[in-house]
Amino acid sequence: MTLHQSEAIVLRTWPLRESDLLVSLLTRDLGKVRGVAKAALKSRKRFGGALEPMTYVDAAYAERPRQELVRMDHFEAIASPLALPIDYLRAATLGYYAEVLENVLPDHDPQDAIFRLTLAVLEQSQVGRCWMPVTYFSLWITRLIGWLPETDRCTECGQNFAGEAAYFHGLTDGLSCARHKKPNSSALGVDSLALAQRMLRDSICAMSEEPWTRQSGRDLRRFLVRTLERHTERRLNSAEVFSRMGG
């Protein structure tokens, strides 16, 4: 048995038998792990207030030989998303981060850049200010996982978009120029292409004071969500909430 103590982010929990929970946890030292928290619903001492998705915790857990599931021993909350006001969009945002991380990350593959990205967007995701961190997260997770195509040139001919819109299609890779776009493609506007370049260059803190609405970067978010969905071959249910809200 190997005991671990690590910073971690709770992604999801599922009820098991009685008061046990199955927990999906993004740990800093081992990447994504799943394990059983025995009597979690009864023991406030061991998990008190630290099981809500996207809670940043100090987690103690144990790997057991020849067993895929770890044993969750003790969580202590470092920062809870519920400590700040919450509204419909912020709840959807937290659910989106959890669903994306759960779907795209392989188990037991620690990636510190993704862990730091998640902490940074969590800090920025406050009531009335969620559209920017959602977009920043979508772009960077797609890049860090290795699925982001070139955002400044056509995948087909290599020509730079140079002030023209780009086009994407849900069933194919990359962005195309107007000449090589597939039928029924969606456009990615000039402003959003520039926004993507800026987000790849700047820290999230540098962008935190800019005014954002649900329209800001909407086509970029949709492109990124389609890219994530195509690679995982799974719908992101939480992203549909953004669409329903006009974002």
Terminal Cα-to-Cα distance of the chain (whole angstroms): 47
CB of 181 to Zn ion, least distance (A): 8
Choice from 3, 157, 205, 245 touching Zn ion (CB under 5 A): 157
- Residues 51, 23: contact at Cβ < 8 Å? yes
**Number of chain residues interacting with Zn ion (CB under 5 A):** 5
Q: Which two tokens stand for residue 52?
A: 């809500």
- Residues 36, 23: contact at Cβ < 8 Å? yes
Tokens 């669409």 -> residue:
243
Choice from 29, 63, 156, 229 touching Zn ion (CB under 5 A): 156
**Judged by CB under 5 A, does residue 7 bind Zn ion?**
no
**Judged by CB under 5 A, does residue 154 bind Zn ion?**
yes
Q: Which of residues 165-194 bind Zn ion (CB under 5 A)?
A: 177, 180
CB of 163 to Zn ion, least distance (A): 15
**Judged by CB under 5 A, does residue 129 bind Zn ion?**
no
Task: Name residue 229's amino acid.
Answer: E
Q: Which of residues 9-38 bind Zn ion (CB under 5 A)?
A: none
- Between 4 and 180, CB nearer to Zn ion: 180
CA angle 199-201-204, nearest 5°?
A: 50
CA angle 43-48-54, nearest 5°?
A: 130
CB of 186 to Zn ion, least distance (A): 16
Q: Which of residues 76-95 bind Zn ion (CB under 5 A)?
A: none
Helix/strand/coil for 85:
coil
Report the interface residues with Zn ion, using CB under 5 A.
154, 156-157, 177, 180
